[in-house]
Amino acid sequence: MKSILAAIPTNNSISILFGIIFSIIGIGTIIYAYSRRNTNFLKQWIEIGQGLGIELNCDKRKEQLKLVGTYKGFNMAFCAVFIKSSISQTNTEIYLDKNTNLNLYITKKTGSFLQSNTKSINIGDSTFNKAFFIKSKTPEKVINFLKPEIKKQLINNIKLFEKGSLFIDDNTIKWLGKKKSNSEFQKQVLDLLINIETHKN
């Protein structure tokens, strides 16, 4: 009789069993959603690449979802950035042959920047400083890097900065952009990054 009673699941064991089942379902849902987001990202950005004449390949060697290719002779990539398994933004990257030994972040100044206490690096150009917020871990190199031609390129493309920011770190020039884009916009971004590389020396 005792052995029969022992075989009957108790309320606790039933609760644990249901907990395990719901955990498995939850994990499966997350994996499915993650996979679906990956598929959507790949489809969207491969189409953008095709619009630019870029043959893209998926690179899964790092903890990122990355499509790599070549544009106008430069190695480049579209990189998905995840926050809690959701794509929060997509970076456009150009890889350089040599390190710039530079760390630089540039974004368009908005009302929030103007009202905050965050200090922007002063490069001695009132027009440029009024338009852009500049941050760097290597401030001593920023003024030398921001040559007149590069500043002109950035000012002329200031509308692009409504949808992203520029980040340079050693041998990588990045555009920190939003999730959604199109071929025409990405062409402007890639051309801007290449123009910066061309005039940096």
For residue 5, being part of any structural domain is answered with no
For residue 70, being part of any structural domain is answered with yes
For residue 24, being part of any structural domain is answered with no
What is the rounded average pLDDT for all residues in the chain? 79
Mean pLDDT, residues 127-133 taken together: 93
For residue 97, being part of any structural domain is answered with yes
Contact (CB, 8 A) for 104 and 167: yes
For residue 59, being part of any structural domain is answered with yes
Helix, strand, coil abundance in the chain, percent, nearest 5:
50, 25, 25
Nearest partner of 87 among 26, 43, 53, judged by Cα: 43
**Domain range holding 104?**
32-199
Q: Is the predicted pLDDT of residue 16 greater than 70, yes or no? A: no
Q: What is the pTM of this model?
A: 0.74
**Domains of the chain: total:** 1
Across the strands, what pairs with 89? 81
Q: Is the predicted pLDDT of residue 159 greater than 90, yes or no? A: yes
Distance from C-alpha of 47 to C-alpha of 49, rounded to nearest angstrom: 5
List Cα–Cα distances, 13 to 2, 8, 18, 22, 49, in angstroms: 17, 10, 9, 14, 54
3-class DSSP assignment, residue 167 = strand
For residue 103, being part of any structural domain is answered with yes
Which range among 11-20, 130-139, 158-167 shows the weakest confidence by mean pLDDT? 11-20
60-79 residue pLDDT tens: 655 567 889 999 999 999 98
Mean pLDDT, residues 88-107 taken together: 89
Residue type, 100: T
Contact (CB, 8 A) for 32 and 48: no
Q: Is the predicted pLDDT of residue 22 greater than 60, yes or no? A: no
Distance from C-alpha of 106 to C-alpha of 43, rounded to nearest angstrom: 29
Q: Is the predicted pLDDT of residue 138 greater than 80, yes or no? A: yes
Give me the pLDDT at residue 157, please.
95
Give me the pLDDT at residue 169, please.
92
Mean pLDDT, residues 8-18 taken together: 54
Which range among 9-18, 42-51, 96-105 shows the weakest confidence by mean pLDDT? 9-18
Q: Is the predicted pLDDT of residue 42 greater than 50, yes or no? A: yes
Q: Is the predicted pLDDT of residue 151 greater than 90, yes or no? A: yes
For residue 67, being part of any structural domain is answered with yes
For residue 126, being part of any structural domain is answered with yes
Maximum mean pLDDT: which of 39-43, 56-60, 84-88, 135-139? 135-139
